[in-house]
Amino acid sequence: MAVEHSAGALAGKVALVTGAGRGIGRAIAQRLARDGALVGVHYGHSETAALEAVVEIRAEGGRAFALGARLGVPGDAEAVFAAFDAGVRGEGEAGAPGAPGGLDGRGERGERGERGERGEPSEADARGVGGVRGVLDILVNNAGVSGSGPVGRATPEVFDRMMAVNAKAPFFLVQQALPRMRDGGRVINVSSLASRRAFPESLAYAMSKGALDTMTLCLAKELAGRGITVNAIGPGFIETDMNARRRETPQDRAALAARSAFGRIGSPADVADVVAFLASDDARWITGQYLDVSGGTDL
């Protein structure tokens, strides 16, 4: 049976979740769609996984489209939003809520509208399509890379990759998002417990997440006048592909679980539910905050 979405807390909202084909990002996209948002499911490499996520969302009565663009390369933010804009228009052209935004789920139908000199949406874009007012309400900077190693093993290439994907890309994604974002919008950055704990085994990764936390704080003050909240969440050990190597044996799993006050490894849904709260109107008085979503790790 399809789940009813029209009366959800995010009905009429438009969201973009980066790195949403798998793991935490996929769970976030599914939860926001369940709450009524139209969700852009971004992927960098895992196209098949992203399209599967879109199919699952639509099977539950939600609205979503996939969009692909690599992060950490020149022009990445512009490429993401070119695909995002096309996807939103594709959903409008497809007609009723829940209908596919294009034959293959990518939301690539339709030509790009006229753009301003700085890439702002045209007046027609801003009016909205397919019953969805505006262009963007929620940006979740979830995509990231890890595995940088301790300082003695670091290389300039790995360091630059960490910073490019985990810090630079979110910075310029926000820059591209703001002309499209309606007042009262939400920016939610997926940081890491590594930015608040000593984590020498992945130093460049921890540094990149620390930069994301600083961006969160500064943007919260800058954007408050528009009613836009900006917050970061810091997951602990979550059962995803990214940290699979840390729980390869029963002993490894038990050691990670023991670090949580609840004695278990977190699930992507544990994180997605917190993101859904921050995306909702209930969180309108919360901004500039780092929320520890680690299940009481190392209390």
- Position 5 in a domain: no
| Strand arrangement, sheet containing 63-68 | 63-68, 38-43, 14-17, 136-141, 181-190, 229-235, 290-293
Q: What is the pLDDT of residue 255?
A: 92
The 10s digit of each residue's pLDDT in 116-132 is 433 444 444 444 444 44
Greater confidence (214 vs 92) lies with: 214
Q: What is the pLDDT of residue 43?
A: 98
Predicted confidence band of residue 240 (pLDDT cuts 50, 70, 90):
confident
Q: Is the pLDDT of residue 133 over 70?
A: no
SS3 31: helix
Predicted confidence band of residue 77 (pLDDT cuts 50, 70, 90):
very high
Q: What is the pLDDT of residue 94?
A: 59
Closest CA to 141 of 71, 207, 83: 71
Q: Is the pLDDT of residue 286 over 90?
A: yes
- Position 4 in a domain: no
- Position 9 in a domain: no
Predicted confidence band of residue 242 (pLDDT cuts 50, 70, 90):
confident
Q: What is the pLDDT of residue 147?
A: 85
The 10s digit of each residue's pLDDT in 21-46 is 999 999 999 999 999 999 999 999 99
The pTM for the full model equals 0.85
Q: Is the pLDDT of residue 236 over 50?
A: yes
Domain that holds residue 196: 14-293
Q: What is the pLDDT of residue 241?
A: 78
Q: What is the pLDDT of residue 78?
A: 97
Q: Residue 233, CB half-sphere, CA atoms under 13 Å: how many? A: 27
The 10s digit of each residue's pLDDT in 181-194 is 999 999 999 999 99
Closest CA to 145 of 165, 129, 167, 120: 165
Q: What is the pLDDT of residue 5?
A: 41
- Position 298 in a domain: no
Which residues form the catalytic set? Answer: 191-192, 205, 209
- Position 7 in a domain: no
Predicted confidence band of residue 7 (pLDDT cuts 50, 70, 90):
low
Show the beta-strand stretches assigned E in 174-218: 181-190
- Position 2 in a domain: no
- Position 229 in a domain: yes
Percent of the chain with pLDDT over 70: 84
What is the mean pLDDT of the segment spanning 102-123?
38
- Determine phi and psi for 15, rounding to 5 degrees: -125, 150
CB of 189 within 8 A of CB of 170?
yes
What is the mean pLDDT of the segment spanning 286-294?
97
What is the mean pLDDT of the segment spanning 57-67?
98
Q: What is the pLDDT of residue 259?
A: 93
Going by C-beta distance under 8 Å and a sequence separation of 6 or more, which residues neighbour residue 240?
Answer: 22, 23, 24, 268
Percent of the chain with pLDDT over 90: 76
Greater confidence (206 vs 131) lies with: 206
Q: Is the pLDDT of residue 106 over 70?
A: no
CATH of the domain at 79: 3.40.50.720
How many domains does one find in the chain? 1
- Position 3 in a domain: no
Q: What is the pLDDT of residue 107?
A: 39
What is the full DSSP assignment across 86-148?
A: HHHHHHHHH-STTS-SSTTSS---S------TT-PPPHHHHH-BTTB-SSEEEEEE-------
